Each structure stands twice: as C-alpha cells, then as structure tokens.
Amino acid sequence: MTTPTAKPLSWAETLPRAELRALQGERLRAVVRHAYDHVPFYRQRMDEAGVRPDDIRDIADLAKLPFTVKKDFRDQYPFGMLGTPLRDIVRIHASSGTTGKPTVAASTQGDLDVWAECAARALERAGSTPESIVQVSYGYGLFTGGLGMHYAAERLGAAVVPASAGNTEKQVMLMKDFGVTTLCCTPSYALQIAEVGAAMGVDMHSLKLRAGHFGAEPWTEAMRKHIEEVLPLKAYDIYGLSEVAGPGVAGECTQQSGLHFCEDHFYPEIIDPETGAPLPDGEKGELVITCLSKYGQPLLRYRTRDITCILPDACPCGRTTRRIARLMGRTDDMLIIRGVNVFPSQIEDVLVRVKGVLPQYLITVDRQGNLDTMEIQIEIGNDAFTDKIKTLEALRADLQHRLKTVLNVGAKVKLCEPGSIERTLGKAVRVRDLRKI
C-alpha cells in the first residue's frame, strides 16, 4: 500500500510556464527573506551589495543577489551557513573541499523531503514505478549518491536494494536473483558491473534491467551507447551536487535529450564565467543554482563551476520544466576519480605538511578497464634525498596513507628526485588526464 499524497509526485513538471514562474517567485521571496534573517553570511553579503530582501520580488530580480562560491563554504566551515538551529538539522553530508576541510551539506527533514521528491521524479521520468526494483550501487556515506537514490526509490514506492558500491560479483547476483529493473550507479561502475557479470558467465541480456540512472562523473553519448549495448537497459543521465542536494537536481526523461531541471525547487541560471553576466537560454556557460525550498542551509546563486547550457526548445515529452544539456566540463581543475571529487589543491595541502617533500607534483589519471587510476609523482627535497630504500619507502607509504585519508580515493605515490618534475614558465601543469571517456 502506498501512502496517499495530495498531489501526484510530478505535478510541478507540467505546470504552465507562467504558473511555474509565479511559484518560483513566491518561493524565492520566502527563502531570501529567511536567509537574510537567519544567516549572518547572507545578511552581510546582501548588505554589501546594497540589496534588501524586499528588493527580491520575482525571479527577474535574482541577478541582484551576489553569488555564493565553494570558498564561502570553507570560510563558514562547519556550520556558518546554517539557516536553522542545529537541533532542526537531521542529516549532514560532506563533499570534497579545495583543501583539507570538506564542504558541509546540512539538511532539515523538509530539505530531505524535497530532495527525495526530486530524485524520485528522476526515477519516474525514466519510467520507474512502484513496481520497480531499484538497486542503488552508488556509495552510501558522506557522498550523496547512495542515500539520495535510496530515499528516492522509497519515495516512489519502489523496492530498494541498498547494495552500495563494490563487491561487484554480489551486485550481479542480486540483480539476477531479485529481478532488479533499475540500476543507479556511476557510468563507469555500470560498465564494470557488465564486465564482471559477463566474466561470471551471466547472460547480462537476460536480466530484467530496463533503466539506469548514471551520474556523479562526466560521460559521453558514446559511453551511453556502449552501456546500452552491454546491459539490457536505457541509460539516463542524472545530475546533482551535495551543496544543492544530491542526485536528482536534474535528470533525463525517456527522450534522452537533456536533463529536466527540478525548476520548482532549484532555479538554474547560466552565466559567463569570466564576467558573471547572465546568458540567455541556448548559450553555454557556468551553471548557477538557487535553492528555492532549502532552509537548513540556504543556498543563493551558487556557482557550480559546471559548464552546460539551458536547452531553448520544449521537450517532446510534454514536461514544461527546462532542461540542461549533458555536462560539458568545469571551469576549475576539479577531477572526478571513481566518482570522487578531487582538487589538486587538496594534494598540495597535504604535501606542505610533510617534512622532506616539495609541493612539486604531477597527477596522472588513466583508466584501466573501467576503473580510473591515479598516480601522483612527488618530488623529494634535497635534504630528504637519500639512497636508503627503507627510509624512502616509509616516506612513500606515509604520503600514500595521508593522501588516501584526505582524498577518499586511493592513489599510487611515486617519489622522484629533486628538480625532476618539469617546471613551466606560466601555470604549473599538475594534471595529465589520459582517460578517453
């Protein structure tokens, strides 16, 4: 039995544009007022910009508000961005920051309900129903992928298999034995599952899978085609980020041509990353998101650093919410390794704390089979340079351990001689990405 709700899950996806805009304006007014009254950070920013909550009456006024950036989270770490007392916060997620401290994402129950609704809408948009069996093979934990899709499946009324990532043979067994219809994981892990299943002798095309919701890392149309060849499902792109909510901020419908934004809760803008000027629909730039319903940790005009465009035409599916194009890259140097966000500055932050090494390093990212690999070459200082293998190995192991703790993903550390990493005259080259996705 499903709990009766007043409105169908996706009622906001087909609202006439004028009604949607009125709803957005109403929610924006309330959330801006709340942020100003309850978060000293926003009050100060708005005062500096000379904007009062009463100046924000409609979505057209959004551009008057100052941007929020990732660094603001670091400066306000851990709870400086909260809009409610801590007692009203019921969950705290965290994603990578640019240095040692993570970016905190705290939610009230109301915020979680909105997120679950949006992520459930992503499942429904691609055809899942309460009859579906949804295997969540995103990692559970501080990362929002696992818990995000978990509550989405429950909100839809489907049966959820909380597999988390890893132990791939078991994933295949569960899929087969339970008749899983919907798979949620990173696109690279979907390929890994297909490969392991085939190696186990399972006819992957005999599985009941019909939809996959893949995201958290960049992928391409070519990869979609490949996944659809090796698994008997349609592969749908799903987008989200911890600061805003998690998976489900936007996701594709069965047309597979752009990700419908849950515009009634998350308002998207595209700006010129150089000037900050808003760009019209159809033009490529940086995605900026305002959370219209988030009160635990309000978020106004957040610069995501993700590059995309808002598709100017209406979707043939009949939904009126605007879509974004597949993500086209980032304006910063964030890497996504096995679904985990990694900033080169995090590595630098570790190196400056370790005696004997220089903050001279080169990250090489590659893909072996379907798994990302990361090797970090690090220069040793002249003082620490020795021909004692035992000493060097201890240093190497220590660095590898420290980096794994900070980055949340393993990297192979290779020590190299002083001066051996190429110096450039301009911007240092810190990353070689050899993956051909």
Query: Which residues of this chain interact with ligand DLL, rule CB under 6 A?
Result: 95, 138, 143-145, 215-218, 237-242, 246-247, 304, 306, 327, 330, 336, 341
Minimum CB separation from ligand DLL for residue 53, in Å?
A: 28
Minimum CB separation from ligand DLL for residue 150, in Å?
A: 11
Nearer Cβ to ligand DLL (289/351):
289
Sign of CA dihedral 164, 168, 170, 176: positive
Nearer Cβ to ligand DLL (184/347):
184
State how far the alpha carbon of 111 is from the alpha carbons of 31, 108, 115, 162, in Å: 12, 5, 6, 22
Minimum CB separation from ligand DLL for residue 38, in Å?
A: 24
**Is residue 401 within 8 Å of 413, Cβ to Cβ?**
no
**Is residue 354 within 8 Å of 403, Cβ to Cβ?**
no
DSSP string, 128-173: --TT-EEEE-SPPSSSHHHHHHHHHHHHHTPEEE---S--HHHHHH
Minimum CB separation from ligand DLL for residue 138, in Å?
A: 5
Give the residue among 149, 127, 126 at the shortest CA–CA distance from 136.
149
Give the residue at shortest CB distance from ligand DLL. Answer: 215
Q: Side by side, which strands form the sheet with 357-368?
A: 412-416, 371-380, 357-368, 431-433
Nearer Cβ to ligand DLL (188/360):
188
Minimum CB separation from ligand DLL for residue 164, in Å?
A: 13
Sign of CA dihedral 222, 253, 281, 62: negative
CA neighbours closer than 13 Å in the CB half-sphere of residue 170? 9
Nearer Cβ to ligand DLL (25/296):
296
Nearer Cβ to ligand DLL (227/399):
227
Minimum CB separation from ligand DLL for residue 103, in Å?
A: 7
Nearer Cβ to ligand DLL (100/356):
100
Minimum CB separation from ligand DLL for residue 186, in Å?
A: 7
Nearer Cβ to ligand DLL (25/212):
212
**Is residue 237 within 8 Å of 308, Cβ to Cβ?**
no
Minimum CB separation from ligand DLL for residue 43, in Å?
A: 26
Residue 135's DSSP bridge partners are 161, 183
> CB burial class (10 A; 0-12, 13-18, 19+) of residue 202?
middle
Nearer Cβ to ligand DLL (237/379):
237
